[in-house]
Amino acid sequence: MLTDPTAIFVYLAVLLGAIFWLTAVPRLQPLFRVTPAIIYAYFLPALSTSLGITPNSSAAYDWMVRYLLPVSLMLLMVTVDVRAVVRLGGKALIMMLAGSLGIIVGGPIALALLGAFLPADTWTGMAALSGSWIGGAPNMVAIKESVGTPDSLMGPIIVVDTFFAYGWMGVLLFLSSFQSKLDAWMHADTRGIDALEDRMMASGGERRPMEIRDLAMILGLGFGAAALCIRLGDKLPMLGDPTIISHTTWTVVLVTTIGLALSFTPARRLEGVGASRVGYFALYLMLTAIGSQADLLKVLEAPLYLLVGAVWLGIHIAVLFAVARLVRAPLFFVATGSMANVGGVVSAPIVASVYRRSLAPVGVLMGVSGYFIGIYGALLCAWLLSLVASALGFIS
Q: What per-residue confidence (pLDDT) applies to 242?
A: 45
What is the pLDDT averaged over residues 42-62? 89
Of residues 143 and 68, more confidently modeled: 68
pLDDT at 12: 96
Check: CB of residue 351 under 8 Å from CB of residue 357. Answer: no
- In this model, does residue 299 exceed pLDDT 70? no
Distance CA 34, CA 243 (A): 42
- Residue 269 corresponds to which amino acid? R
**pLDDT of residue 8 exceeding 90:** yes
Residue 366's nearest CA partner among 302, 320, 322 is 320
pLDDT digits (tens, 9 = 90+) for 216-257: 999 999 999 999 999 999 999 876 554 446 677 688 778 878
pLDDT tens track for 312-326:
999 999 999 999 999
- Amino acid 207 reads R
State the pLDDT confidence band at 384, using cuts at 50, 70 and 90: very high
pLDDT at 298: 60
Is there a contact between 205 and 271 (Cβ–Cβ < 8 Å)? Answer: yes
pLDDT digits (tens, 9 = 90+) for 55-113: 988 999 999 988 998 898 888 888 766 665 566 567 878 888 899 999 999 999 999 99
239: β partners: 245
State the DSSP string of 224-246.
Answer: HHHHHHHHHHHHSPPBTTTTSB-
Give every CB contact of residue 185 below 8 A, 6+ residues apart in sequence: none
Q: Which of 44-48, 300-304, 306-310 has the lowest mean pLDDT?
A: 300-304
pLDDT at residue 201 is higher than 60: yes
Tell which residue, 15, 66, 73, has the closest CA to residue 44. 15
pLDDT at 90: 76
pLDDT at 65: 85
Nearest to 394 by CA among 24, 70, 125: 125
Could you say which architecture CATH assigns to the domain 5-391? Answer: Up-down Bundle (1.20)
What's the mean pLDDT in 106-123? 91
Mean pLDDT, rounded, for 165-180: 86
Question: What span, in angstroms and rounded, lies between the C-alpha atoms of 73 and 55?
Answer: 27
- What pLDDT shows up at residue 293? 81
pLDDT (0 to 100) of residue 17: 95
Handedness of CA 256, 259, 263, 264 (dihedral sign): positive
Please give the pLDDT value at position 243: 47
Average pLDDT, whole number, for the chain? 83
Percent of the chain with pLDDT over 70: 84
pLDDT of 191 reads 79
pLDDT at position 302 over 80: no
Q: For residue range 153-171, list pLDDT tens digits in order.
A: 777 887 788 788 878 888 8
Identify whether the C-beta of residue 268 lies closer than 8 Å to the C-beta of residue 203.
yes
Which SS3 state, helix, strand or coil, does residue 395 take?
Answer: coil
pTM of the model: 0.66
CA 355 to CA 38: how far, in whole Å?
11
The pLDDT confidence band at residue 279, using thresholds 50, 70 and 90, is confident
Q: CA 312, CA 52: separation in Å to the nearest integer?
A: 31
